[in-house]
Amino acid sequence: MGLVVQKFGGTSVGSVEKILNVAECVREEKLKGNNVVVVVSAMGKTTDHLVSLAKEISAQPNKREMDMLLTTGEQTTIALLAMALTQKGLPATSFTGWQAGIITEPVHGNARITKINSEAIKSQLSEGKVVIVAGFQGVTEIGEITTLGRGGSDTTAVALAAALDADKCDIYTDVTGVFTTDPRYVKNARKLLDISYDEMLELANLGAGVLHPRAVEFAKNYNVKLVVRSSMEKIEGTVIEEEATMEQNLIVRGVAFEDEITRVTVLGLANSLTSLSTIFTTLADHHINVDIIIQSTTESNMTNLSFSIKTDDLNETLNVLEDYKELLKYERIEAENHLSKVSIVGSGMISNPGVAAKMFEVLAANQIQVKMVSTSEIKVSVVVEEKVMIKAVESLHDAFDLSEENE
Ligand code: ASP
Ligand code: MG
Q: What is the mean pLDDT of the chain?
A: 94
8 A C-beta contact, residue 178 and residue 192? yes
Nearest 5°: phi and psi at 361? -60, -45
Mean pLDDT within 203-232? 94
Q: Of 281, 377, 395, 263, give the one whose Cα is nearest residue 328.
A: 281
Name residue 209's beta-bridge partners: none
- pLDDT value of residue 249: 66
Instruction: Work out the percent of the chain whose per-residue pLDDT is above 90.
Output: 87
Mean pLDDT within 387-401? 97
**14-29 burial by CB neighbour count: b if 16+ within 10 A, else e?**
beeebbebbbebbbeb
**All domains of the chain, ordered by start, with CATH?**
3-174 (3.40.1160.10)
Which ligand sits nearest to residue 109's alpha carbon? 1
Mutate to test the pocket of ligand 1, among 41, 78, 133 (most ligand atoms within 8 A of CB): 41
Q: How confident is the model at residue 352 (pLDDT cuts 50, 70, 90)?
A: confident
What secondary structure does DSSP assign to 25-71, as a single string? HHHHHHHTT-EEEEEE--STTHHHHHHHHHHHH-SS--HHHHHHHHH
* Any ligand 1 atom below 6 A from CB of 152: yes
* Any ligand 1 atom below 6 A from CB of 153: yes
Q: Of 337, 349, 340, give the one whose Cα is nearest residue 375.
A: 349
What is the Å distance from ligand 2's center to 280 Cα? 31
- pLDDT value of residue 248: 57
> How many angstroms separate the CA atoms of 139 and 248, rounded?
45
User: Is residue 366 classed exposed, middle or buried when 0-12, 13-18 and 19+ CB atoms within 10 A define those classes?
Assistant: middle
Q: Is the pLDDT of residue 145 over 90?
A: yes
Q: Is the pLDDT of residue 74 over 90?
A: yes
> How many angstroms separate the CA atoms of 344 and 321, rounded?
32
* Any ligand 1 atom below 6 A from CB of 151: yes
What secondary structure does DSSP assign to 131-146, as a single string? EEEETTEEE-TTS-EE
For the CA of 136, the nearest atom of ligand 1: 5
Model confidence over 10-50: pLDDT tens digits?
A: 999 999 999 999 999 999 999 999 999 999 999 999 999 99
What residues are neighbours of ligand 2 (ion), with CB under 5 Å? 9, 151
Name residue 95's beta-bridge partners: 133
- pLDDT value of residue 287: 86
Residue with CA closest to ligand 1 atom 8: 151
Q: How confident is the model at residue 407 (pLDDT cuts 50, 70, 90)?
A: very low
pTM: 0.90
